[in-house]
Chains A and B, each alone.
Chain A
């Protein structure tokens, strides 16, 4: 059987086996990390929440570690408001930019602008914090003075900085997903007698929907997890959120007090971490399922 196609040895080539194992290990590493992080967050955060009492912790309105009061409702609501406002403004704006870059702008202009947008995505958050502190906070000062409020960092400033920070992420992900839409959809739509804008809104964007949703999820994740830039412009007082007053977000709540906390105080900070973690998980799952519903099936 000189010409047989049967394997010479007993098993697959050793190199194949090694590569298989290697890829398996890499794949498992990602899964194991997620599981370990989740486990660690729960184990370190849950005891504090239990000691303080879940209701007092989650619904308490006063955060005063010296008096052993650990209510994080103001932090939760501030995070939700700041992120919500940022997303409401950033998503439509980013979509418009993405449509402009992919459908309207000429090739050269589009690639130049896209390069700049991607550059923005890579700027360290502390730089956004600096810009916010010198450009946006003073603007908000004017509004505060006009209304007779003390001048301070504010929830509004934090939201504005977040808008600027998440724009590039949503834009660049949306642009790539719109680029991936087959040209045919646009042609078919035009051939049915639609205008250029109708084709974009009714054919191209719906076909790019799932990619755009991923961009939004990434943007929301970045907004709710952002710490440094927010801390530099938000004023950081743990009070219930009002746009023109200082606000402390969940992330800032942890990072500000971490260095000098101990005992139950430190455990409470882990509790905040757990809440933040839960938030991001829930938002990811919710957004992906709600927004992607009724979308494309390939």
Chain B
């Protein structure tokens, strides 16, 4: 069973060959971690999965990415529908300068949901899903930017959940957070994997080892090794993977 299939994916930023023939199967309802040193292409790969690289000038992509068997780079694809299905949480918490409620409702309004009751219901469900409901339920109308960094990031996760995605991409979601907020988000991710397919880029190998089911190691635009997380960390097959996870470089 696979959710996303990547076949021979190459990506160029102008002269820079950033992804070199990635082949990968991402399994549904699992957490897949992408690790590797800075500049190895893991974030770039993540962004090919919801076509966020489209907005970068000078990008050329070949190969295919299949989501439930459909090529997301196909000519008939509606990118807005794709991104509704494949949500994304960014590195630094980035709520809009609006109220907490409006942040979560943002995607609903975009997708034409206008009924107040339905909106209220989805906002509550999303905030509960992101484990932040109890902290904000009494101040939904207050500015989101007044929340702490960790709360803001969980709010951003709620905002992503509100449009009912099937896949959630997370680009180093805890790298700007303190250890306690990080722990909360990690607990949340395990919860999320019950309903969603989660792909996370992380710099933190302990994090990958703690939370993910599968891990892929990237180096210089190539995917070196991809296996069950336990396997990768216990007995990596490629010496480069071993060097990286034992801290000999990177």
Contact = CB atoms under 8 A, between A and B. Distances in A.
A158 B88 CA distance: 52
A207 interface: yes
A9 interface: no
A191 B94 CA distance: 12
A182 B94 contact: yes
B30 interface: no
Nearest to A188: B94
Contacts of A189: 106, 110
Nearest to A194: B110
Which of B97, B107, B160 has the most A CB atoms < 10 Å from its CB?
A: B97
Contacts of B81: 193
B123 to A, nearest CB: 14
Contacts of B52: 187, 190-191
Contact of A192 (B55, B98, B145, B160): B160
B28 interface: no
Interface in A269-298: 295-298
B172 to A, nearest CB: 14
B155 to A, nearest CB: 12
Given A206-B96, A296-B145, A297-B145, A191 B83 contact: yes
Contact of A187 (B55, B98, B109): B55
B91 to A, nearest CB: 9
Contacts of B92: 184
Contacts of A195: 80
Interface string B141-152: 001011000000
A297 B106 contact: no
Given A202-B106, A297-B143, A297-B145, A192 B83 contact: yes
B210 interface: no
Contacts of B94: 182, 184-185, 188
Contacts of A207: 96-97
A203 interface: yes
A261 interface: no
Contacts of B10: none
Nearest to A207: B97
Contacts of A202: 106, 109-110
B87 interface: yes
Contacts of B159: 188, 192
A198 interface: yes
B84 interface: yes
B145 A198 contact: no
Contact of A188 (B90, B143, B146): B90
A200 to B, nearest CB: 12
Interface string B45-63: 0000010100100000000
B145 A184 contact: no
Interface in A153-207: 182, 184-185, 187-195, 198, 202-203, 206-207
A3 to B, nearest CB: 37
Interface in B51-82: 52, 55, 80-82
B145 A206 contact: no
A86 B88 CA distance: 43
Interface string B90-124: 10101011100000001101110000000000000
B106 A184 contact: no
B88 A191 contact: yes
A297 B106 CA distance: 18
A296 B107 CA distance: 19
Contact of B110 (A182, A184, A193, A297): A193
B163 A193 contact: yes
Contacts of A185: 94, 96
A297 B82 CA distance: 32
A193 B83 CA distance: 5
Nearest to B111: A193
A192 B111 CA distance: 9
Given A185-B94, A191-B88, A207-B96, A298 B80 contact: no
A190 B52 CA distance: 8
Contacts of B106: 189, 192, 202-203
* Closest 9 pairs between A and B when the two form their complex, measured CB to CB: A296-B97, A193-B84, A192-B107, A191-B88, A193-B83, A194-B110, A297-B143, A184-B94, A193-B80
Given A193-B111, A194-B107, 13 more contacts: A184-B90, A184-B94, A187-B55, A188-B90, A188-B94, A189-B106, A191-B87, A202-B109, A202-B110, A203-B96, A206-B98, A207-B97, A295-B97
22 contacts: A182-B94, A184-B92, A184-B94, A185-B96, A191-B52, A191-B87, A191-B90, A191-B160, A192-B106, A192-B110, A193-B84, A193-B163, A194-B110, A202-B109, A202-B110, A206-B98, A207-B96, A296-B97, A296-B145, A297-B97, A297-B143, A298-B97
